[in-house]
Structure 1
């Protein structure tokens, strides 16, 4: 790639920081929303599964709709950036709705939290869908995209780390002692912190003008093109498998800390050790990707992570804390690979599509990826809660868990996410687009664009 096309450092930073807000709010929901509903509000795990499924099912339509609209948007600010400017404040405010504690019965609570979740996810999609679609529009270089995605994942993981530290600092280490007032304070703080970085993305990035002048894509042809794009299909499925593992772990890790290892007082230390390690491991996976390729880096990193997760089934309150910290550090290395590499693969498939069809449909492609993520969340998190329901997990702040519930918690934190990661590895083995092929595609597209520009002038 020509030197002048490389992204400035400040662009990497300002674009990357946008993923902080979505990651933080999403991780807070994944990690604490179920615990909040079961422990503080007193909703049965099976009903919580219904709330999560209903709320996320709306995104099966919502994601594709916003992605398609952003592909067809034409403004002086570009296709994606206007959504960041006008959607940021509603996105931040909607987060509060999830953490209110209305005095309803079980049926009323299911209805309220389902509606609150639908509203939040709709407004969040309005912001993060166009944000994700910016990645291939900022650079077409194979390695620059990995670096750009690494910066984004640095803020993504920082957001996940903040998602654990902020609630635990405000609400407390032990959710069995949480108060509704502190939960609301946490929600207000998180909503404001999540919204602010998107203004930096709006003012700190610029979309390429040649994409603004392209013909408007049609919905069904764009959708069919995505499913015919082999690199995209394999990359999206790798992301789905990895994301399902992350969701199952995040959703149940607090139950694991509260009831399996009983380390409430060391909750923050455990979270910090995982996510700080993941942040520091990002340059390593960036280096591995450059010296090998993204597919091999994914197989190695996620395979390592799956082995660490299987070990967790043997943890108990007598496990030495130093051993727990070692496992957290090892898990953090795997989390880093699982976060950055699937997202770094997706933009390459968009060039593959343009090379074959002459069209770019980033909005549809990224909406399908996030849609798969929502489907994964709609399946993985409710199913893990149903496992806890079947294993007789007790609700309330004074609950004592039976042995069956402890086994259920071990399963949803260890072997089940490990199986998802192994599925991702099996998919990655057959990923069809290598570094040299992508470089040839980009060079050919650059020649085509230059010829088209010369013809227009």
Structure 2
């Protein structure tokens, strides 16, 4: 019999993801323009650096997951990271958004070193945090609720950062953008640290690996490679991240060069985040009536149709653009909590199948696929822009404009359909999960 989680613990777990988005949304939305317009390196150098660090950081994820799975403290395996690393992460972010008085080569080396340090510190907290959702409860419905609340806080944090960061830079810097960015990231780091500590204080790990388990990292990786539902989710995360990154990264180009109204981006991104938060809130309700596999297929089918519809929107139909963006947020909002609850289910499946449990490695390898998907999307955009003759800050050719529209519509629509196809191979339905939980419980009492 599963002990229901209290709302204090559910909310206590969720608030940390707001803190993570104080970093992540700043990185995704503002870091590139900080490097080019404030820090002072070329767009090509900044883009290459971000791509390189993202690939390197993706390969650190399994190592950090392996370390977290082998951590043993009186506070559990994963919770301690929420108090060990907030200060190093805040310091690394402060250094990343610091502009040193160095020649161009020294600046670029500083950018590589500090950004890599920040991303490693971020991953060292984020992967154990992700894994924590898999050991709070064994109930699949509770997991859906916990992850739903988590992503409501995440989208709220992203909306807050998008709206507040430019104003904070102006206010704290007093006209000095370099100082403004330093102090702004310091403020976000302090707030995030407080939220991480709140999560540590208000959660408890209830699921542990079998007492006699002693495995090597290679065994964990081998178990995952033979875990069919996890393998499906690995490719699903890769495909979905490509789908989302193509649209979000292309949106700024779309409004600047196709619509001719770049100021609309200020409302376009928050519109998505607010509607995605509403979609995430619906996840526990939806999973009560629709099997997770079928629900994911329905969500990605709807995403494909909405992306396809964007192809037919005229550049003057701003209201329709926003309506489709809000609808896309609603259907993609449940995707994240649904996927993370499914990762926890695959960790249970792995223990049921092999007698071994590697929760953090399960989530770490999943974030690896997400980072890889982001890198692939950036590469697709760069390749397409090069092929179509994109030139920055000038009126675009008809071919270049068409390419930008494809990146907002047809190409993500195709990837979303590919995600639907991947889910056909997922073999954990509700009935099988109930049997797995019953078998695991019986093993522990025998």
Calculate the TM-score normalised by the size of structure 2: 0.90
1:97 corresponds in structure 2 to 95
Distance 2:400 2:32 in 1: 15
Per the TM alignment, residue 132 of structure 1 is displaced from its structure 2 partner at its CA by 0.7
2:433 corresponds in structure 1 to 438
In 2 relative to 1, CA 350–281 (structure 1 residues): closer, same or farther, beyond 3 Å?
same
In 2 relative to 1, CA 438–325 (structure 1 residues): closer, same or farther, beyond 3 Å?
same
Match of 2:142 among 136, 141, 144: 144
In 2 relative to 1, CA 179–67 (structure 1 residues): closer, same or farther, beyond 3 Å?
same
Does 2:62 align with 1:64? yes
Match of 1:247 among 245, 248, 254: 245
Q: How does 1:113-192 map to 2 (within 5 A)?
A: 113-170=111-168, 179-192=177-190
Distance 1:195 1:80 in 2: 16
8 Å Cα contact 2:145-2:283 kept in structure 1: no
1:342 corresponds in structure 2 to 339
Structure 2 unmatched runs, 5+: none
Distance 1:407 1:41 in 2: 32
- SS across alignment from 2:204: coil
1:230 corresponds in structure 2 to 228
1:454 corresponds in structure 2 to none
Q: How does 1:10-409 map to 2 (within 5 A)?
A: 10-38=8-36, 43-102=41-100, 108-170=106-168, 179-208=177-206, 210-211=208-209, 213-315=211-313, 317-319=315-317, 321-395=318-392, 399-403=393-397, 404-409=399-404
> What are the Cα deviations for residues 333-366 of structure 1, in whole angstroms up to 9, with x where unaligned?
1220332222121111111111111111012111
8 Å Cα contact 2:149-2:281 kept in structure 1: no
Distance 1:392 1:153 in 2: 38
Distance 1:385 1:100 in 2: 28
Per the TM alignment, residue 171 of structure 1 is displaced from its structure 2 partner at its CA by 5.3
- SS across alignment from 2:334: helix
Does 2:410 align with 1:412? no
Per the TM alignment, residue 40 of structure 1 is displaced from its structure 2 partner at its CA by 5.3
- SS across alignment from 1:131: helix
Distance 1:32 1:315 in 2: 28
> What are the Cα deviations for residues 152-210 of structure 1, in whole angstroms up to 9, with x where unaligned?
111122222223222344458xxxx9944444444333333333311111111111274
> What are the Cα deviations for residues 125-167 of structure 1, in whole angstroms up to 9, with x where unaligned?
1101111111111111121111111111111222222232223
Per the TM alignment, residue 119 of structure 1 is displaced from its structure 2 partner at its CA by 0.8
For these two proteins, the number of residue pairs brought into alignment is 441
In 2 relative to 1, CA 191–146 (structure 1 residues): closer, same or farther, beyond 3 Å?
same
Distance 1:105 1:420 in 2: 42
In 2 relative to 1, CA 265–209 (structure 1 residues): closer, same or farther, beyond 3 Å?
closer
Worse-matched range after superposition: 424-433 or 376-385: 376-385
In 2 relative to 1, CA 304–58 (structure 1 residues): closer, same or farther, beyond 3 Å?
same
In 2 relative to 1, CA 329–317 (structure 1 residues): closer, same or farther, beyond 3 Å?
same
8 Å Cα contact 2:296-2:338 kept in structure 1: yes
Distance 2:157 2:435 in 1: 36
Does 2:446 align with 1:448? no
Distance 2:169 2:382 in 1: 23
1:455 corresponds in structure 2 to none
In 2 relative to 1, CA 7–288 (structure 1 residues): closer, same or farther, beyond 3 Å?
same
8 Å Cα contact 1:261-1:315 kept in structure 2: no
Calculate the TM-score normalised by the size of structure 1: 0.88
Worse-matched range after superposition: 94-103 or 433-442: 94-103
8 Å Cα contact 1:64-1:367 kept in structure 2: yes
Worse-matched range after superposition: 384-393 or 266-275: 384-393
